[in-house]
Amino acid sequence: MERERFEPRIIGFFCNWCSYRAADGAGTARVKYAPNVRVIRLMCSGRVDPSFVLKALASGADGVLIAGCHPGECHYIEQNYKTMRRYAMLTQTLRALGISERRVRLVWASAAEGTQLAAAVDEMVEDLRLLGPLHWSANLREEDHEAAFEHILHEHEQAMEVTR
Amino acid sequence: MAERIGVYVCHCGSNIAGTVDVEEATRWAGENLPGVAIARDYKFLCSSLGQALIRDDIQEHGLTRVVVAACSPHLHEKTFRRACANAGLNSFLLQMANIREHVSWVTRSKEAATEKVKSLIAGAVARVQHHRPLEPTPVPVNPHTLVIGGGIAGIQAALELADAGYPVYLVEREPSIGGHMAQFDKTFPTLDCAACILTPKMSEVGQHEHIKLLTWSELEEVSGSIGNFKARIRRKARYVKEETCTGCGLCIEKCPRKVVDEVFEAGMGYRKAIYTPFPQAVPKIPVIDPKSCIWFERQRCRACEKLCPTNAIDFDQQDEILEVDVGNIILATGWDLFDCRRIPQYGYGRLANVFTSLEFERMCNASGPTGGRVVLRDGVTEPESVCIVHCVGSRDSHYNPYCSGICCMLSLKMGHLILEKTGAKVYACYIDMRPNKKDYEEFYQRLLEEGMLFVRGKVAEVTDVARTPPEEGKLIVQVEDTLLGKQRRIPVDMVVLMGAIEQRRDARETGLKVGISCSMAGWFIERHPKLDPIATMTEGIFIAGACQGPKDIPDAVAQGAAAAARVAGMISKGTVMIEPVVATIDEEKCSGCRICNNLCPFNAIDFLDDEKVSRVNAVLCKGCGTCVAACPAAAITGAHFSTEQVEAEIDGLLWDAGGDGEPAPTDQPELAPAATE
Ligand SMILES: Cc1cc2nc3c(=O)[nH]c(=O)nc-3n(C[C@H](O)[C@H](O)[C@H](O)COP(=O)(O)OP(=O)(O)OC[C@H]3O[C@@H](n4cnc5c(N)ncnc54)[C@H](O)[C@@H]3O)c2cc1C
Ligand code: SF4
Ligand code: SF4
Ligand code: FES
């Protein structure tokens, strides 16, 4: 039973300043959490191009965890507010594709919050276990895929035009 | 795929090898990952031998890319970049896989850890093929330094730099420098008088040709980066002309408005509406506090103006904003005392004769509100017995889990002063005695000999409800004496609470202004807790003194000097190398939509009206990558974090996910036929 448990694959996009350091902090404190997340370090959560998320899901990830500094604490002043907007758009696109938005999460973790970040990973892994594997490529027709990309780029463009 | 990649997997002693099958991961990478020319494991890659191994391989095997799977890049990326550079390989052709902090230290199962390590290595190998050589940009270092906070740590930092000939702006929010140390009478463990050792340093600061002292001032905003910061400083209106005032003090003497001094006197004494916090203040120039001044309240008085022999009073003064250019910034903002009211059972604020350590410190001070006499709140009665309560708000999961570090010694110092001044019986209720530095244990022994009484136990309550006649009119300290194994009620006249040292209440905001963050306990986070306690994750920003964590005066001084030494090193070198992680726009691809223009918080993107394209100003760009992610024409490249590189990393990390072709499961209601809106 235990051996057959579904082990979701999660791609993490962590910003360099807070959340990546939070993950480092969890390590230093030897906090144990699920090994399912594979982290990509970006300078800021603002670098998370929504197409990275779709790309990760299309390439076999069952979930994506985006982590950044708390609102107001971004190392680049306010870029995580842009991440928030993008995330809102992204969840709509996912919904349109029939993908549960629970598969893509956005969390904030300050450099001190390793324990919290580890808990967020554990929780997401449990949740993905309930959802089961995504199998994007087997489930989505190529056309939908393309349409989704078009759709998100369009929305994204609109969202970004009105910032600030 | 012409790249020849070397993969190096570190054991880190047993730190990694204890949880990860390093040999297996190395073998697997060598046999399965495309482009890998050589894969090796090594006990300690960061050692000089480990670095030499990489260097020699690059030269002997003609490696064009290097992957190091070891600890966090925050720890050793620089080390391995240097190893590459030493072998003639551009240092940006390296990628690290963080298999210690992100795998071995956080994973229980060896099997799962080893699998995760394989993925991280695969991701790094896939990514590194797309790396491009980059050159760090040399940036000149402005020789001016900004020091925020004029306590002992900030004073030390400023003096070290100024004595080396480097100009310093020292910003202090109070009317005088000195910080908490100026409030004390004696300092442990030597019992030398605080003023005697502090005031000479303060006047040195005041007179130093290389220090521009800005008291009654606050940091408003900081922009720029290492080497070239721009800081906006608010010089609050003093209502006294600094150039004209001689510091004679006549105005203070004649001012009719007296108010309780909550800052310097900790609420124990008074000051005037025009004041310097204490007689030896530096500078000697007073300030008018508009909140207590009669003129600001009801447009009457101006006694000070009439009496000032040099006409230095100026009621029309306004706040001024000063802009300064500096190369580095040192934060030395110190600590605040725990609000003892938060533990209601200790009675502070309710029971008159319960004092805080800071109140007591002022009371002991010969120039303090009681002239140095230890007396009850009535101002006359000497106590016959005193109980000092340790760890108030420290070592307590309800308040602060940490040890404030100084309270045991502080308690001993106070015990000594009480015994000396009053001959009262002195009890100390402690959880553990931790006098663990040079000459501290000896001081403890001395107080044992002097007859201070120690009760091991955490105080449950301080009450004035007597149960027996001897308790009448006393404060009763209820404590479980864990050495005797019984509950005790100790009746005393006075209780002193050793409140915790906490981070400044506004430290978070101060940190955000310069781009550094605070730990869960509130302290500014250092770059490395052991090896780099005075640097921060933001280049050019340093921390010193109690803002980094609770500490005593010797440690605060040491950190102030250390921060100054680091800054001086950079100034004398003249330039720093900064990472060339910036965005560039391909003008061929740019459609001129201008979406990116407003996205950049540093206004680094200009629109060229003639060419109708956008361009990034590399000097202003900090490389966050937000514009890169936003450009609909994919015209922007984020150096070292390009779309290609990130996408390759995704593919590599998911090497085992079999991208396509897996059979569709049946338990997927959420994947009902997709309907794109
Ligand atoms: C009651 C008590 C007694 C003590 N006695 C001793 C002793 O006998 N011996 C000993 O070794 N240690 C003692 N200590 C510890 C000692 O107080 C500290 O080690 C020392 O004060 C740390 O110095 P600092 O410069 O880091 O901070 P501080 O003394 O707190 O100075 C910080 C300065 O920065 C200023 N500041 C803060 N924020 C800003 C801002 N945003 N902008 C501008 N300025 C700002 C403050 O006004 C202050 O002047 C005692 C502590 C307590 C609580
Ligand atoms: S977003 Fe892209 S296309 Fe639009 S102006 Fe900026 S660089 Fe050019
Ligand atoms: S990468 Fe960030 S800092 Fe640089 S130009 Fe783009 S938005 Fe501005
Ligand atoms: S740097 Fe962490 S979210 Fe921007």
Which DSSP string do the residues of B489-512 spell out, in sequence order? EEEESEEEEEEPEEE-TTHHHHHH
Greatest alpha-carbon span in chain B: 94
In a domain, B668, yes or no: no
Number of structural domains in chain B? 4
In a domain, A151, yes or no: yes
CATH number, residue B610: 3.30.70.20
Residue in A32, A55, A100 nearest the CB of B106? A32
In a domain, B646, yes or no: no
Distance CA B133, CA B142 (A): 28
Q: Which ligand is nearest to the CA of B601?
A: 3
- CB–CB of A47 and B674 under 8 A? no
Q: Say whether both B68 and B94 belong to one domain.
A: yes
Residue in A41, A52, A82 nearest the CB of B599? A82
Pairing between β-strand B228-235 and β-strand B320-326 as defined by DSSP bridges:
antiparallel
End-to-end CA distance of chain B: 40
Distance CA A51, CA A93 (A): 11
**Range among A158-162, B359-363, B596-600, B672-676 with highest mean pLDDT value:** B359-363
- How much is the pLDDT for A144? 65
Helices B152-163 and B553-573, packing angle to 10 deg: 30
A132 touches chain B (CB under 8 A): yes
CA angle B541/B546/B548 to nearest 5° reads: 45
Q: Say whether both B386 and B434 belong to one domain.
A: yes
Residue in A21, A48, A139 nearest the CB of B668? A139
Q: Say whether both B398 and B495 belong to one domain.
A: yes
- How much is the pLDDT for B353? 97
- Residue B594's Cβ-count burial label (10 Å; 0-12, 13-18, 19+) is middle
Count of CB pairs separated by less than 8 Å, A with B: 206
Which site among A14, A79, A129, A145 would you substitute to test the B interface, given the most B Cβ atoms closer than 10 Å to its Cβ? A79
Greatest alpha-carbon span in chain A: 52
CB B178 within 8 A of CB B282: yes
pLDDT per residue as tens digits for the range B437-480: 999 999 999 999 999 999 999 999 999 999 999 999 999 999 99
CA distance B100 to chain A (A): 7
Q: Say whether both B595 and B494 belong to one domain.
A: no
CB B431 within 8 A of CB B458: yes
Distance CA B147, CA B172 (A): 9
- Residue B567's Cβ-count burial label (10 Å; 0-12, 13-18, 19+) is buried
Distance CA B173, CA B176 (A): 8
- How much is the pLDDT for B246? 93
Which of B333, B409, B542 most suits a substitution to test ligand 1, by most atoms within 8 Å of the C-beta? B333
Residue B99: closest CA among B128, B126, B67: B67
- How much is the pLDDT for B151? 98
CATH number, residue A153: 3.40.50
Query: At residue A157, what is the residue type?
Result: E
Give the length of chain B: 677
Q: Say whether both B121 and B167 belong to one domain.
A: no
Question: Three-state DSSP class for A104?
Answer: strand
Q: Say whether both B282 and B353 belong to one domain.
A: no
* Token pair belonging to B617: 């100003």
* Token pair belonging to B34: 């495309």
Number of structural domains in chain A? 1
Q: What confidence category does residue B527 fall into, taking pLDDT thresholds of 50, 70 and 90? A: confident
* Token pair belonging to B444: 């403890």
Atom of ligand 4 nearest to the CA of A43: 1
End-to-end CA distance of chain A: 52
Q: Is the pLDDT of residue B402 over 80?
A: yes
Pairing between β-strand B605-608 and β-strand B613-616 as defined by DSSP bridges:
antiparallel
In a domain, A140, yes or no: yes
In a domain, A50, yes or no: yes
pLDDT per residue as tens digits for the range B142-196: 999 999 999 999 999 999 999 999 999 999 999 999 999 999 999 999 998 999 9
Q: Could you tell me the residue range of the domain that residue A129 belongs to?
A: 10-160
In a domain, A66, yes or no: yes
Ligand 1 centre to CA of B186 (Å) is 14
- How much is the pLDDT for B1? 52
CATH number, residue B414: 3.50.50.60
pLDDT per residue as tens digits for the range B555-574: 999 999 999 999 999 999 99
In a domain, B487, yes or no: yes
Q: Mean pLDDT over residues B281-306, rounded?
A: 95
Atom of ligand 3 nearest to the CA of B617: 5
What residues contact residue A149 under an 8 Å CB cut-off, 6+ apart?
A51, A54
- How much is the pLDDT for B528? 84
Distance CA B484, CA B37 (A): 70
**Residue B31 CB neighbours (<10 A):** 9
- How much is the pLDDT for A88? 93
Residues of chain A with C-beta less than 8 angstroms from the C-beta of B676: 96-97, 144, 147-148, 151
| A 46-65 residues inside an 8 A Cβ radius of B | 46-50, 52, 55-56, 58-61
Pairing between β-strand A63-68 and β-strand A10-15 as defined by DSSP bridges:
parallel
Which of B502, B536, B555 lies at the terminal end of a domain, its last residue? B502
Q: Say whether both B365 and B315 belong to one domain.
A: no
Distance CA A67, CA A64 (A): 10
Spell out the long-range contacts of B337-343 with Cβ–Cβ below 8 A and sequence spacing 24 or more. Answer: B337/B266, B337/B499, B337/B500, B337/B501, B337/B502, B338/B392, B338/B393, B338/B394, B338/B399, B338/B400, B338/B499, B338/B500, B338/B501, B338/B502, B339/B499, B340/B392, B340/B393, B340/B497, B340/B499, B342/B393, B342/B399, B343/B392, B343/B393, B343/B399
In a domain, A120, yes or no: yes
Distance CA A136, CA A127 (A): 18
Q: Say whether both B319 and B359 belong to one domain.
A: no
Q: Could you tell me the residue range of the domain that residue B602 belongs to?
A: 583-638
Beta-sheet strands, E only, within chain A: 10-15, 37-42, 63-68, 104-108
- Residue B430's Cβ-count burial label (10 Å; 0-12, 13-18, 19+) is buried
CB B606 within 8 A of CB B590: no
In a domain, A1, yes or no: no
Q: Say whether both B408 and B557 belong to one domain.
A: no
Question: Three-state DSSP class for A105?
Answer: strand
Of the listed ranges B234-238, B575-579, B580-584, B648-652, the one predicted with least confidence: B575-579
In a domain, A5, yes or no: no
CB B19 within 8 A of CB B13: no
Q: Which ligand is nearest to the CA of B534?
A: 1
pTM: 0.84
Q: Say whether both B498 and B508 belong to one domain.
A: no
- CB–CB of B106 and A77 under 8 A? no
Which of A13, A14, A18 most suits a substitution to test ligand 4, by most atoms within 8 Å of the C-beta? A18
**Residue B197 CB neighbours (<10 A):** 14
Q: Say whether both B370 and B460 belong to one domain.
A: yes
pLDDT per residue as tens digits for the range A90-112: 998 888 888 999 999 999 999 88
- How much is the pLDDT for A98? 85
Q: Say whether both B496 and B508 belong to one domain.
A: no
Which of B148, B173, B176, B181 most suits a substitution to test ligand 1, by most atoms within 8 Å of the C-beta? B181
